[in-house]
Amino acid sequence: MEECYIGNNWHGLMEQKVKTAKWCCNISGRDASESRPAVSLQRRMMIMKKRSTKEIKLQAKKALQGHVGTVLLGLLAVYGLNMLGTILSTNLFSGTSPLDLVLSEVFMLVVSLIVGIISAGFGYMLLNISRGKEFSLGDLGYFFKNQPDRVIIAGFVLAVIQIVTAIPYYYVSFTTDPGLTVDSQIKWLSMTLGLLAVSTLLNFLISLPFAMTYFLMADDTELGGLQALKESARLMKGNLWRYVKLNLSFVPLLLLSVFTFYIALFWIMPYMEMSMVACYRDLDGELDYRLPGNEGFGSFHNWTNDSGDGYDTENNDGYRNDSEDDYNSEA
């Protein structure tokens, strides 16, 4: 039996119609000639790949069960290190001179690169959890031992984007005097906070296509930093709004956390992070297939079930249960 194994990543999937069709038949024990045409399979792939926000979040909930504490500790490590860097930068370069500003930014750049390596390791840990594989907090240091230069290159590009988008905020903060009166200080504070909000929004929008970069590098040890950025942009093409909607869907929960004195964030934040992982696995096509050795939480659809009439959905794992008519309508 010929095996057409696609590998750890699925981002070349749609270009491999014939191989994918053969592989899907092989896992069912059928000959390729006995199954549906490859084009029909491709149409099914394209339909199944578009999961709703609700389905992705359901997938994330299932994967997160019993692992909230570990994910939370990983988050605290990432945010804690970033906060520590900010505090050190503020204390070490507290002046208002251009030199202090430059040194502060250089220091924060170095911190952001280190945090980026740990963040990539955090993504690696989340992927392992989502796939039902072995994991530990030690995964946070995964990229320190596995070509950290890749993460540094990608992280440097993302850090430059963040710095450039924040230039107006930094310029006003360091060059304008808040004044001595209450009114002038309120105006200065309002202006700087407004610029900070605009800078944050710009950074989010420009960095949006690169949201899957660290996940891609975790899945492919041969993928370079710039390649991962490009691949992420390709993966996100046509899916930017889906990703934004997924993020916006957590806004009500974040607002309601106020009434729990923010204690609910200890569950909401891990839930959000795992949802981003589920989104990546959906975009990359992984949730549509069970590749050899990959049998994690809801990691597949069985394309050919016992009745031979298409695929067998995992109804309890947050997947779309499309009817046969959905595919016939594509014919």
Neighbours of 275 (CB within 10 A): 23
Residue 52 CA to chain centroid, in angstroms?
16
Could you give the percent of the chain with pLDDT greater than 70? 72
Q: Give the Cα separation of 90 and 104 in Å (integer).
A: 8
Average of pLDDT values for 219-233?
Answer: 94
State the pLDDT at residue 298. 42
Q: Give the Cα separation of 32 and 36 in Å (integer).
A: 8
Please report which confidence band the pLDDT of residue 181 belongs to, taking 50, 70 and 90 as the band edges. confident
CB 64 within 8 A of CB 71: yes
Element (H, E) at 290: none
CB 107 within 8 A of CB 93: yes
Please report which confidence band the pLDDT of residue 15 belongs to, taking 50, 70 and 90 as the band edges. very low
Tokens 């900010």 belong to 86
Could you give the percent of the chain with pLDDT greater than 90? 50
Put simply, whether the predicted model's pTM sits higher than 0.75 gets the answer: no
Contacts of 287 (CB under 8 A, 6+ apart): 51, 59, 278, 281, 298, 299, 300, 301, 319
Domain residue ranges in the chain: 13-49+304-328, 53-284
Q: Give the Cα separation of 252 and 258 in Å (integer).
A: 10
In the predicted model, is pLDDT for residue 33 greater than 90?
Answer: no
Mean pLDDT of the chain: 77
Alpha helices in 1-65 (DSSP H): 17-26, 38-48, 53-64
Most confident of 27-31, 38-42, 204-208: 204-208
> Closest Cα to residue 165, out of 136, 129, 197, 140?
197
pLDDT, tens digit (0-9, with 9 covering 90-100), for 156-171 = 999 899 889 988 888 8
Q: Give the Cα separation of 273 and 247 in Å (integer).
A: 10
Contacts of 318 (CB under 8 A, 6+ apart): 51, 54, 55, 56, 57, 58, 59, 60, 61, 62, 278, 298
DSSP per-residue string spanning 95-108: --SHHHHHHHHHHH
Length of the chain in terms of residues written:
331
∠ CA 236-238-241, rounded to 5°: 85
State the pLDDT at residue 76. 94
Q: Give the Cα separation of 37 and 21 in Å (integer).
A: 8
User: When comparing pLDDT for 184 and 305, which is higher?
Assistant: 184
